Structure 1
Amino acid sequence: MQPAGSPDPRNSRVWRKLSPEALDSLRGPILLRQTSSIEENWRWGAEDSSAVEEHDGASWDADWEWGAESKHQNGNTRPALPTSPICQFASLSHDANYLVCATDRLFVVLKAGQSQEYALVGKGVPEDRDEQITAVTCAPLFIPSNVKSGVSISVIVGFSSGYFRIYDERGRLLISHLLNLSPVIGIKIRTITPTSLATSIEPDGDEVLIIYGDSKAVSIDGPSVWMAIKVVAGYKDFGETLEQPALVYKKWQFDKQKRILDMVSLGPASATVISPPAFHPVSSTFLSTRRTARYIGVGRPMITFYATSEAGRSHSLKNVATKVTSAVTNAMFSFAKTIWTHTPTSLTSAYPPSTPSPPGTPTSSTPTLPDTVAPPVRMPALCTLSDTQRQITSIKLSPPCTLTGKSKLAAVTDSLGRCMLVDVEEAMVVRVFKGVRDAQCGWVQVEAGLRGGSGGRHDTPEGSRRRGKPPTLLLAIYVARGVLELYHVRHGPRVAALAVDRECKLVQTATGVLGGAYGGQGGPGTGGLAQCVLVGPTGEVRRVRPEGCF
């Protein structure tokens, strides 16, 4: 039952909406693709009436008041022709105040306002007409000088040309790098928490992972990204120009799999159960296996675990890497002094400045790698889970544990209508969900002790830890036919099955802030517990409120 006086989360049908200006920007390229669709391509059957099981005589749809907008008028039994998703890519900030949506030709940055709308604050397009946007992620940054929230927003965009570019929230281009010639297929950010920073045996830090379509990936040290963005943005605010700063990175080659569709980074570890035992060749004493980097690649074969014990984790581009990494430590404590004492000549660009070509000189649309880009290093594979008939299409790490700061689980979706729960420490599939073709997954956390309402103001992992219990972890699975399911993990029951719109995007909040751990703002505690929202095909945004399921 609901506590007296507490709001019922099911009373809110639509949490927020995209502003008309944002919808007009996104619908332009989408309408061109919709003109070629025909009504016969859509199959309407009895699955609409049987998609959701009955719940004690009352449907979840009626309880949550979702789907009322989809009821047909004038007694028509045949639904209207569905629309395409409002965007191809979507990403949320850590606190859900910023939403980034993108098509293949445009990205928009939206900010939540007091009018319950995501208002358009910035947008951008590819630099080259032949480029297409292939990946987008919202990257919150810890900014000590931002007294209002302490966090600023940037957007990392990957392109079909292999470029990845970083923009600020207004859409201004800050950084552009080409480290590989294959299309970027994914961008992942791994942030450390104050807990993992204090307990980690191996040196660890924030990481930005750029995933390419040719089984390569570039791991960029988060502190170098943080510093480069702040330096370039600072100069742009004063109307000054700055050469492209270099980044500290490591380029990996994952050749164990024929095709990689997605990847995540697990960070360093002192020991893993899937590591083979090692013994001293003379004394035969057991040697502890420490991994400086760990990754999980999914595709074909299904899942492969990679790890390396290589001591040197990052490349240094000229001498700027040393300057950037040494400056980051002091920057957290005296940000203004560190940033504003830099001069444009103190940052040496990793790429030679471009010179304009003489008129009439032929230009090639195919980019070439700069000479300063290091070759990839082969990443050893530890073990592989393979099924010749199955291909994994995506992987989503669970929020970091509040005690260790490490993720323990991952949800993966495959090409045969399955979703699997994987223990990333044991390298073991612990649960399989069937009948979820074309599924999207996300993680939702509920404060420990809540049953049927907000119940308190401390909606953070720290609030649960003060009560001695970790947050309750739920897995949200959105199925393309218009069903959203919530499950207790690892082996708990299904707590909800909701009828929702088709062609939605399930988007999870970012799990941390770049540089946040050093300022006491790392991990999910920065913006509360992990959340998920559904972005509908007409621009409505519904928040997944699991409190109503208990």
Structure 2
Amino acid sequence: MARRSHLTELGCIACKELDRLGAGKEGWLANDPNLFLALDTNSLALANRSFVLVVDWNDSPPVSIQPTLSPSVEGEIAAIEWLIFDDFRVLALGTSNGFLLFYSMNADLIHKQIVHPSRIIRIRVRGSDGNFPQSTSSNEICIVMPGIIARFDGADIQNFLQKWFQEMQSYRRENDYGRLPYQLWNVGKFGPCTDAAITGIMPPPLLELESSQRYYCAVTIGEDAVISAFRLSEDRNRSLVGAILSKVVPATFSTLSSFSKMIWRSNQEADKPKEVKPQAFARASVLTCLRDPPRKGERFALSPSGSLAAIADSLGRILLLDTQALVVVRQWKGYRDAHCLFMEMLVSGDASSSDLPHYEKSKSDYCLCLAIHAPRKGIVEVWKMRIGPRLLSVQCAKGSKILQPPPKLDSSVSDSSAYTPLEVFLLNGDSGQLSLLRP
């Protein structure tokens, strides 16, 4: 009897343009820290510090993007990610000097703005398909920098891009639509973070006045603190007392100062170009922190609902964190340099109804799992959440990587009953073969 394979080959990304990114060398895909990858539903974006290549495994010609970046101003490419909508998709680039750029599939620069003068290490996308609870934060883009988190609302970006695509024949210059609004928090109390994510919306702290402001929970990992959690407020005031003082005390002085500025301000100063100042930080309060030297947090994966997070540390362990209770609920050992991604599998129970030809599977037909890629062992394991068994183990070639497309960003909720499960893909760096992991 033939051995069952859990990998379904989708196509090959091998092409001569990959030579500019170091393809062909041993370990080029997994060992180059300056190589960035982002998977879409039918294409893969690869980038180094100054060049981006979009490869389609359906025999479409590759697209090259050569951003015009000044090393002293924008810096170099430091992160990439796809932004997928119903009608279009764009590629987001983050630079080492804190700039965020959007490019179309025709290599047109759509937008460029600075988020904060710091290196962007991750662009994290969270979408919603209507299956998430109301307490979670969805349809957002988080920009992660060392000790800093910025949040862009997905609806703002969607409206911005829709306007650009509708009028792209008339508007070809960058920043024609102004700056995208966003929120910024300083989460570097325990040192710079290596990765972070906003896990969801949380209730306000005790003794806080009821308001329309929302509070987010953010989890960070880093060298000084393996795990730390913060309550992020939309309010930039430091406390309730500070909010009162900041409005009452300066009231008289602000009236006098504004009048004096009208006297000495000259017309020449009004004609000078305005410099873009860094946005002020909103309030971030510490919730908890796990320090365990010499353990360091290295890689971070968040479940679709944000209720679970997997943290791979420097000691070869993987911690499963309940982001609502902020408690580690499970731990794996012996996984050096591991990478984790959450995925979904069909529930192995009563499959009689799901096997019917016209049966449309829903979210209840799937269970949440964690895919762990252990490159030193050369395997990909799938474990059932939260405390379930290991469901399978798949051998993979040396120099492979597990990838996952970002969720779709769309403010409208689909009424379709069909459900698309969360899937994990495996890219073989030596052959360029892309496969889908099908448990």
Pick the TM interval, shorter chain.
0.7 to 0.9
Q: Which residue of 2 aligns with 1:141?
A: 85
SS in 1 for 2:164: helix
Given the alignment of the two structures, is residue 91 of structure 1 paired with residue 38 of structure 2, yes or no? yes
Pick the aligned partner of 2:11 from 16, 19, 43: 16
> Following superposition of structure 1 onto structure 2, how do residues 13-162 of structure 1 map, counting pairs within 5 Å?
14-20=9-15, 24-30=16-22, 82-85=26-29, 88-93=35-40, 96-113=41-58, 119-128=60-69, 130=71, 131-143=75-87, 152-162=88-98
Q: Compute the TM-score of the two structures, normalised by the length of structure 1.
A: 0.64
Q: Is the 8 A contact 1:443 1:508 kept in 2?
A: no
* Structure 1 contact 254–378 (Cα < 8 Å) conserved: no
Residues 234/430 of structure 1: CA separation in 2 closer, same or farther (3 Å cut): same
Report the residue type matching 2:19 in the other structure. Answer: R
Give the corresponding residue for 1:245: 178
Compared CA separation, residues 527 and 201, structure 1 to 2 (3 A):
closer
TM-score normalised by structure 2 residue count: 0.79
Q: Percent identity?
A: 22
| Paired letter, 2:438 | R
Following superposition, the deviation at residue 373 of structure 1 comes to: 3.7
| CA distance in structure 1 between the aligned counterparts of 2:382 and 2:288, rounded to whole angstroms | 30
Structure (1/2) with the larger helix percentage: 1
Counterparts in 2 of 1:370 and 1:464: CA distance versus 1, 3 Å: same
Distance of 2:48 and 2:357 partners within structure 1: 37
Distance change in 2, residues 1:491/1:31 (3 Å): closer
1:460-511 Cα shifts (integer Å, max 9, x gaps): xx7235xxx351122111112222111112111112222211112211232x
Aligned residue for 1:186? Answer: 122
Matches within 5 A, 1:332-343: none
SS of aligned partner of 1:496: strand
Q: 1:488-542, CA deviations, whole angstroms, 9 ceiling, x for partnerless residues?
A: 12111112222211112211232x3222x414279xx887110111111131112
Pairing 1:71-470 to 2, within 5 Å after superposition: 82-85=26-29, 88-93=35-40, 96-113=41-58, 119-128=60-69, 130=71, 131-143=75-87, 152-196=88-132, 200=134, 206-213=139-146, 215-237=147-169, 240-241=172-173, 243-270=176-203, 278=206, 292-299=215-222, 300-310=224-234, 370-400=275-305, 407-449=306-348, 455=355, 463-465=361-363, 469-470=364-365
Tell me the CA shift for residue 372 of structure 1: 4.6
Distance 2:122 2:321 in 1: 20
Structure with bigger strand share is 2
Residues 141 and 153 of structure 2 are in contact (CA less than 8 Å); yes or no, is this contact kept in structure 1?
A: yes
Q: Is the 8 A contact 2:232 2:283 kept in 1?
A: no
Superposition deviation, residue 112 in structure 1: 4.6
- Who is 1:520 aligned against? 414
Q: For 1:538-549, what aligned pairs fall within 5 Å after superposition?
A: 538=430, 539-546=432-439
Task: State the Cα deviation string for residues 320-341 of structure 1 (Å, max 9, x = none).
Answer: xxxxxxxxxxxxxxxxxxxxxx
Letter in 1 for 2:392: A
Name the CA shift for 1:31/1:205 in 2 (closer, same or farther; >3 Å): closer
Does the Cα contact within 8 Å between 1:89 and 1:102 map onto a contact in 2? Answer: yes
3-state SS in 1 of match to 2:162 = helix
Q: Is the 8 A contact 2:10 2:57 kept in 1?
A: no
Are residues 1:532 and 2:424 paired?
A: yes
CA distance in 2, matches of 1:221, 1:13: 35
* Amino acid aligned to 1:498: V
**Aligned Cα root-mean-square deviation (Å):** 3.7
